[in-house]
A and B are shown apart, each in its own frame.
Chain A
Amino acid sequence: MFQDLNQFIVSLIGKGDLSDILSVVVYSALPLVLILLYALVAILGEMKISAWLQDRLGPMRTGPYGILQPIADMLKLIQKEDTTPKLADKKLYNAAPFIVFIGSYMAFAALPFAAMYAGARINTGIFYIVAVSGVVVVGILMAGWGSNNKYALLGSMRSVAQIVSYEIPAGLAILSVVMIAGTMDLQTISHLQQGGLQNWFIFGGPKSLAGFGGGYAWILTPLMVVSFLIYIVASLAETNRVPFDIPEAESELVAGYHTEYSAMKFALFFLAEYANMFAVSAIASVLFLGGWNSPIAGFLDAPWMGAIWFIGKAFSFVLIQIWIRWTLPRLRVDQLMHICWKVMIPFGMATVLLVGTIVTFLAH
């Protein structure tokens, strides 16, 4: 058994510059394939689940039960004319979808999909993911400004303001996990949660390793549940999903910052949004729910099975996001700010403080 894909490549063609380049290409292409396949499933899921929640059937005509609908939609998008508004700022207008997608995709470099697969072992893994979301924000501003459309500009400004403010509670929630783990490397965080559900960070982290307080770590559970909830809510806001979809409020802003985009450029925004949904779900599952670890020690935990657990956990969060989208109404702007600054940040601060204190005592 090879330890990871890189060793497999090395065993095929030998170690050298060529194997390094091939590794980079393979490691950077695989998540893209995953995103494309997942987007098809998620779009169908979105259509079907919304239909079921509203007592409809959803798409039924393309293929059995309409399961080929996303493929038909994709083909339609490819065929569409790529329009550019006459008065748009052409350079910014054309660059924006790519910047947004690159920003979303950069996060996938640090995600540990399995024990034997992580694009890059970055020491500052989770910090890196938080930082690259800034690139998305700049891309959104570019789209809003480049379109030369008041709805697009307003949508992009709302979106950016929302993402930037909700990064704070998300960061505080992440911080409590980082304090327990003592590392920001997502692969090490996953390794620490090996050995079953009781070692997951939502239950206070590893119980059998030295330096983590042993059984006393259970007292962190309520705090970590609060952190987990803060992260989930903040991640909804960061992906502009309902109830935080003020930037795309149809009745006010048409479609927000991508109002003017058509064809494949619109598809890129769409793909970036779905990639973002997957990324935040994956981060929640790595940080709190064990990442690629099986919930029961020894149950289906072969190295390659990790990928299935990981993707399964991330998918269940995506499902929850879809469920919430079709259940809750949209918040008002003042409610949005109220939840962020007056509820989530104080609670986040308090959890960070308490977790920090407890960890300091448990570590000795």
Chain B
Amino acid sequence: MFDIIFYIFGAITVGGALVTAFARNIVYAAFSLLFTFFGIAGLYIMANADFLAVTQLLVYVGGILILLIFGVMLTSRIGTVDIRVGTGSRWVAGIMALGLFAILCAAFFGTAATHTEKSADGKSQVVTSWATHATRPWSGSKWNQDATTEALKPKYGAPDEVKSNEGSSGTSVEIGTLFLTDYLLPFEVISVLILVSLLGATMIARKEPTKEEEAIAESVSV
């Protein structure tokens, strides 16, 4: 079942990406990115990156995609713009794409698909590297409750009411800890950079109000 879901998410991602690349209507290209981002979030979850998946949804779907669509919509007569321009460099583009594909294939086949892992009773077993059954972020939930311990039990009393997946706390705790310890400086520098670009964009987009406009603004203020 894991494999089937993987292929469903893969199909959503690739399908969305194909529409984005080949659509003649730029509005369709922008909207089909929704499916690509959604599929990628699904794939992240299957690769144990639950926090990354949700962040990706929040940033790309909730932020960047909406900005993009607004941009597309505010451009005048966007429906008639032919977005496929310039065919001169088709050969170069093809060669570049093939080269990138070859590199990705090399990386894909160079990664060991399985590795040996010791289970709780000491037996070693061969498992898929990138998604072992026991470490999936949602493995602590109802999917295999018997496999994870109910760590919260002694803490909250009333044992028969408490079900927990504390056995797998996901990646958010570790990411948070690393952000505020080892990677504090890069994290803060990026924050400042984003703030600067935000302010810069506002300054560029801002129109200095004339005297009349200021007077109007004052008269209607709350």
Chain A residues with a Cβ under 8 A of chain B: 1, 3-7, 17, 20-21, 23, 27, 89, 91-92, 99, 115-116, 120-124, 127-128, 130-135, 137-138, 141-142, 145, 153, 157, 160, 164, 167, 184-185, 187-188, 191-192, 194, 209, 303, 334-335, 338
Report B96-144 residues with CB < 8 Å from chain A CB. 137-138, 140-143
Distance to closest chain A CB from B166 (angstroms): 8
Contact B73 A121 (CB under 8 A): no
1/0 contact string of B1-17 vs chain A (CB within 8 Å): 10000000000000000
Cβ–Cβ contact B163 & A130, under 8 A: no
Q: How far is the CA of A21 from the CA of B142 in the complex (A)?
A: 12
Contact between chains at B69 and A134 (CB < 8 Å): no
Across the interface, A131 reaches (CB within 8 A) one of B1, B62, B160, B168, namely B62
B1/A191 in contact, CB under 8 A: no
Chain A hits for B178, CB < 8 A: none
**Closest residue to A209 on the B side, CB-wise?**
B155
Q: Tell me how many residues of B have a C-beta within 8 Å of chain A.
A: 46
A187: which B residues are within 8 A, CB to CB? Answer: 163-164
Contact A23–B142 (Cβ < 8 Å):
yes
Chain A contacts for B163, CB-based, 8 A:
3-4, 115-116, 187
CB-CB < 8 A to A138: which residues of B?
31, 34, 61, 65-66, 69
Residues in A neighbouring B61, C-beta threshold 8 A:
131, 134-135, 138
Point out residues on B near A: beta carbons under 8 Å.
1, 27-28, 31, 34, 38, 50-51, 54-55, 57-58, 61-63, 65-66, 69-70, 73, 137-138, 140-143, 145, 152, 155-158, 160-166, 168-170, 172, 220-222
30 contacts between A and B (CB under 8 A): A3-B145, A4-B142, A7-B142, A23-B142, A27-B142, A92-B31, A116-B161, A120-B138, A121-B138, A122-B138, A122-B141, A123-B51, A124-B51, A124-B54, A127-B51, A127-B58, A128-B54, A131-B58, A131-B61, A133-B62, A134-B61, A134-B62, A137-B66, A138-B61, A138-B66, A141-B66, A157-B70, A167-B62, A191-B162, A303-B161
In-complex Cβ contact of B1 among A17, A167, A185, A338 (8 A): A17
* Cβ contact of B66, chosen from A7, A164, A185, cutoff 8 A: A164
Contact A135 B169 (CB under 8 A): no
Report Cα–Cα, A99/B31, bound state, in Å.
11
Of the residues A21, A99, A334, contact of B222 by C-beta under 8 Å: A334
Further pairs besides A123-B169, A123-B172, A124-B170: 20, Cβ < 8 Å: A1-B160, A3-B163, A17-B1, A20-B143, A92-B31, A120-B138, A121-B165, A122-B137, A122-B138, A123-B170, A124-B50, A128-B57, A131-B61, A134-B66, A138-B65, A145-B27, A184-B172, A187-B164, A194-B156, A303-B160
When chains A and B are docked, how far (Å) is the Cα of A132 from the Cα of B69? 17
Instruction: Tell me the minimal C-beta distance from A97 to chain B in angstroms.
Output: 14
**Closest approach, in angstroms, between the C-beta of A248 and any C-beta of chain B?**
19
A195 to chain B, nearest CB (A): 8
Give A128 Cβ to nearest chain B Cβ, in Å: 5
Q: Which residues of B contact A115 (CB under 8 A)?
A: 161-163
Question: A99 to B33, alpha carbons, bound, how many Å?
Answer: 13
Closest to B221 in A: A334
User: Which residues of A lie under 8 Å from residue B160 when comparing CB positions?
Assistant: 1, 3, 303
- Interface pair B140/A121, CB less than 8 Å apart: yes
What CA separation (Å) do A167 and B63 show in the bound complex? 11
CA distance in complex: A134, B163 (Å): 30
Q: Which residues of B contact A160 (CB under 8 A)?
A: 66, 70
A157: which B residues are within 8 A, CB to CB?
70, 73
Of the residues A120, A131, A164, contact of B54 by C-beta under 8 Å: A131
Q: How far is the CA of A135 from the CA of B160 in the complex (A)?
A: 37
A334-B220 in contact given A7-B145, A92-B31, A135-B38 (Cβ < 8 Å): yes
Minimum Cβ distance to chain A for residue B60 (Å):
8
Interface contact A123-B161, CB-CB below 8 Å:
no
Known: A121-B140, A131-B54. A338 touches B222 (CB 8 A): yes
Complex-state Cα separation, A128 to B188, whole angstroms: 24
Task: Give complex CA distance A124, B168 in Å.
Answer: 12
| Smallest Cβ-Cβ distance to A92: which chain B residue | B31
Residues in B neighbouring A142, C-beta threshold 8 A = 31
Known pairs A4-B163, A91-B28, A131-B61; A124 contacts B156 (CB<8 A): no
